[in-house]
Amino acid sequence: MADESKNYTEIILNSIADGVFTVDRSWKITSFNKAAERITGINKRDAIGRYCWEVFRASICEKGCALRETMESGHPIIDSPIFILNSKGDRIPISISTALLRDEKGEVVGGVETFRDLSVVEALRKELKGKQTFHDIVSKNKEIQKIFDILEKVAETDTTVLIAGESGTGKELFAKAIHSMSPRKDHPFITINCGALPDTLLESELFGYKKGAFTDAKRDKPGRVALAQGGTLFLDEIGDTSPALQVRLLRLIQERIYEPLGSIDIERADVRFIAATNKDLEALVRGGRFREDLYFRINVVKIKLPPLRERKEDIPLLIEHFIERFNRITAKDIAGVTTDAMSVLMAYDYPGNIRELENIIEYAVVVCNRRFIDINDLPEFLRKKRGVKLQKDLKDLKELEREFIKDALRKYNWNRKRTAIYLGIHPTTLWRKIKRLNIEIPL
């Protein structure tokens, strides 16, 4: 009868699409179903009797084995995403769930792990992400998507482009995208911040100088225009230039010629110009602080970047993008942000735009010592922004939920299955809530 029961169990396990394997108390595999063979590429006879980490070579085997955590704590794990290496050495994304195995006396005799192949889901996610990523620019915002289409057309020509937008909106990223798609992509992309230097220094940086042009000019120095020869010159914050320098910029952009300081020779500029500003140039023109002829010369194709507060649907995408980047830099393995932290990040207006969000996530990744970034991992000003009220509200809601579930458990004599039916939730969901709310179950 026992053999017949074992055969039935094997038939059932082999009919399941998810991989299933069991281990004994010494961590050796005792069963391995057909789906486990298919996903791992390892035959059942080669898996039985081996240590589970020898078979799976998973991303968590060394750092924090989910099955070990369940065996030690008694708490199941549900749908935790990890990667394993199959028999060919390919990296396979899976989600795992774990539980204890007990004998007739209730003694723990081992553990069971089920795992689902997420390769198709991951491929679809990458395909979708590819549609939302354009030369390191991440967005699903409709306005930004329209700009992506424009960039491809503009990049093919040498047309001068003006990129307008608040500080931190990624103007240089868009300029680099244009350059990288253009026929000039194999030549330099040179940036000069027109608002960072006084006129005299800016002029020498831009046009270069000859030896003896001024006291400290001990040798010839090429300017940014010369360095960008054959490529692209990005004139950042062009709205901060003085009227005097605007005259020289007009000649450079219009006639493609310039003179280094101290030189009597005219140099030719084989350069594509992209300008950027966080100012309202039209208002500056009306006020007489920006030359109208220069404005018309740079405003051939204008790209207006919306601030982050107007494209909040991009915040989760950008957060994921920055976490991936800073995981690589810091050698961490942070999976994402909690719901509570996301609500704080979504509610903030980001006066510093994407650059500010990037700085926030960099800080959070550095200080976070868990798998998910929580509210307490965010910079102090953000925690204060929502004020004590947010923390109090969350605490009150958590305490309210805790007492409600405890009352329900008491009502059904701490029987989780009956309590879950009463609450209208799955038993595993109830167990997760019990764990999250630190509810102690009487033995």
Confidence of residue 388 (pLDDT cuts 50, 70, 90): very low
Ranges 32-36, 147-151, 260-264, 298-302: which has the least confidence: 260-264
Name the architecture of domain 398-436. Orthogonal Bundle (1.10)
pLDDT tens digits, one per residue of 265-314? 899 999 999 999 999 999 999 999 999 999 999 999 999 999 999 998 88
Name the architecture of domain 156-306. 3-Layer(aba) Sandwich (3.40)
In the chain, ranges of CATH 3.30.450.20 domains:
2-121
Ranges 190-194, 275-279, 376-380, 425-429: which has the least confidence: 425-429
pLDDT at 162: 97
In the chain, ranges of CATH 1.10.10 domains:
398-436
pLDDT over 70, % of the chain = 86
Q: Is it the case that residue 396 has pLDDT exceeding 80? A: no
Query: In this structure, which amino acid lies at residue 220?
Result: D
What is the dotted CATH code of the domain comprising 2-121? 3.30.450.20
In the chain, ranges of CATH 3.40.50.300 domains:
156-306
Beta carbons within 8 Å of 226's beta carbon, 6+ residues apart = 208, 260, 267
| 309-385 to CATH, choices 1.10.10.60, 1.10.3720.10, 2.40.50.140, 1.10.8.60 | 1.10.8.60
What DSSP letter does each residue of 326-393 carry, written as one string? HHHHHT----EE-HHHHHHHHH---TTHHHHHHHHHHHHHHH--SSEE-GGGS-HHHHHHSHHHHHHH
In the chain, ranges of CATH 1.10.8.60 domains:
309-385
Rounded to 5°, angle at Cα 78 from 77 and 83: 90
